[in-house]
């Protein structure tokens, strides 16, 4: 009998924020579970209580629309092999497909049937065979999806969409923009491994965000000072199961159908757009260090913190002033 030991890790806050606010300010906090993770939203300023409630509702709304299952828009498309979507979903799908193209398919929202086969949706984990995986890879490929006038169609029957690699970042950005439009100038949105900062701390100083160690949940690899950006981490440590002593995590290399084994333990992206930060954290984790560095160098409009399997922490030059490495880690700056 096969013994499957599962270690299902939902970490309260994968990137733990170190706050501490001097100024007296009206604030309110909501703690809740959504999109398969624990979330905490803290809003500072007038109207904080009502806006915190609205922010939670907005995340619940987005979860319903984007979930891969159920009767939301994406769940319905997956069940029926296509269908109509709202303008909002169409826009997000178009962005996600563009990010899939731009990352050479390292990020690929059509990975759905493969993620399902590994049991990451149901929690009934299993290791699919090689031939099963190669069959399932035939049902993937972002270029086989078309989205025209709100109509989503797949080239191959059996395909499906998984927005798990971009949904939380998108939701964080939506809430950020909603709060900003309501006149808020300081808020902290912690959505599992995703942090979205609105402005600075209420006293005007930068937020201090701890970047979690992928190997020790009690430690940070370093602390990043930032304001008004999204900070999104993807790592194999965030969700995985073990079978016969081998660890299988939830970030799949679309080229092989197996959990990405690229030499990285975690990838943190710092970017002023939450959805992009989220998609890129997944994509660069799949790419590995070398490809991630060249992807960044060709664009240079986001920053990253890579933690490698051989214990190095590689950051982009843009973070040099703001990132303070913890003792015991080696810092390298990408060029
Ligand atoms: P993240 O935690 O943002 O890296 O996203 C991981 C989640 O995205 C997984 O739980 C899957 O649902 C989905 N996923 C896994 N591999 C990929 C991939 N290569 N591209 C897009 N989504 C993926
Ligand atoms: Mg992601």
Reduce the DSSP state of residue 271 to 3 states and report it. Answer: strand
pLDDT 10s digits, 31-71? 999 999 999 999 999 999 999 999 999 999 999 999 988 78
Quick check: is 130 in a domain? yes
Answer whether 115 contacts ligand 1 (Cβ < 6 A): yes
Shortest-distance Cα residue to atom 10 of ligand 1: 250
Quick check: is 176 in a domain? no
Quick check: is 127 in a domain? yes
Quick check: is 113 in a domain? yes
Determine how β-strand 151-154 pairs with β-strand 82-84: antiparallel
Quick check: is 303 in a domain? no
Which pLDDT value is given to residue 147?
97
List C-alpha distances in Å: 5 to 114, 206, 271, 306. Answer: 20, 41, 36, 28
Quick check: is 50 in a domain? no
Task: Residue 142: give the domain boundaries.
Answer: 67-164
Which pLDDT value is given to residue 24?
59
C-alpha–C-alpha distance, residues 182 and 195, integer Å: 20
* Number of structural domains in the chain: 1
Shortest-distance Cα residue to atom 6 of ligand 1: 165
Average pLDDT over residues 256-269: 98
| pTM, 2 dp | 0.93
Determine how β-strand 207-212 pairs with β-strand 240-243: unpaired
Atom of ligand 1 nearest to the CA of 253: 19
CATH number at residue 85: 1.10.3980.10
Residue 108 clears pLDDT 70, i.e. is over it: yes
Quick check: is 137 in a domain? yes
Residue 19 clears pLDDT 80, i.e. is over it: no
Quick check: is 275 in a domain? no
Average pLDDT over residues 147-171: 97
Atom of ligand 1 nearest to the CA of 194: 3
């Amino acid at each position: 009998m096969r013994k499957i030991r599962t270690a299902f890790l939902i970490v309260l806050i994968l990137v733990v924020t170190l706050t501490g606010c001097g100024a007296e300010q009206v604030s309110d906090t909501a703690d809740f579970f959504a999109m398969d993770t624990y979330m905490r939203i803290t809003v500072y300023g007038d109207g904080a209580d009502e806006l915190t409630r609205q922010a939670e509702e907005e995340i619940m709304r987005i979860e319903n629309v984007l979930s891969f299952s159920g009767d939301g828009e994406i769940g319905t498309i997956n069940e029926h092999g296509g269908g109509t979507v709202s303008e909002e979903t169409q826009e997000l799908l178009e962005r996600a497909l563009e990010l899939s193209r731009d990352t050479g398919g390292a990020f690929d929202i059509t990975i759905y049937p493969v993620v399902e086969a590994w049991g990451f949706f149901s929690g009934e984990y299993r290791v699919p065979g090689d031939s099963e995986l190669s069959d399932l890879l035939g049902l993937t490929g972002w270029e086989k999806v078309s989205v025209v006038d709100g109509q989503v169609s797949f080239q191959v029957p059996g395909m499906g969409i998984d927005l798990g690699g971009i949904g939380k970042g998108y939701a964080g950005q939506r809430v950020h923009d909603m709060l900003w439009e309501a006149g808020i100038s300081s808020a902290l949105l912690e959505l599992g491994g995703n942090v979205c900062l609105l402005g600075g701390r209420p006293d005007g100083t930068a937020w201090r965000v701890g970047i979690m160690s992928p190997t020790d949940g009690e430690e940070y690899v370093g602390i990043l000072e930032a304001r008004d950006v999204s900070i999104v981490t993807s790592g194999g440590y965030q969700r995985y199961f073990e079978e016969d002593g081998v660890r299988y995590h939830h970030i799949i290399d679309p080229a092989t159908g197996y959990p990405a084994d690229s030499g990285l333990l975690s990838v943190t992206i710092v970017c002023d757009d939450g959805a992009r930060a989220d998609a890129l954290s997944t994509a660069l984790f799949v790419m590995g260090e070398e490809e991630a560095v060249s992807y960044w160098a060709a664009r240079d409009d986001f920053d990253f913190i890579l933690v490698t399997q051989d214990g190095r922490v590689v950051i982009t030059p843009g973070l040099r002033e703001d990132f303070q490495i913890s003792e015991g880690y080696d810092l390298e700056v990408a060029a």
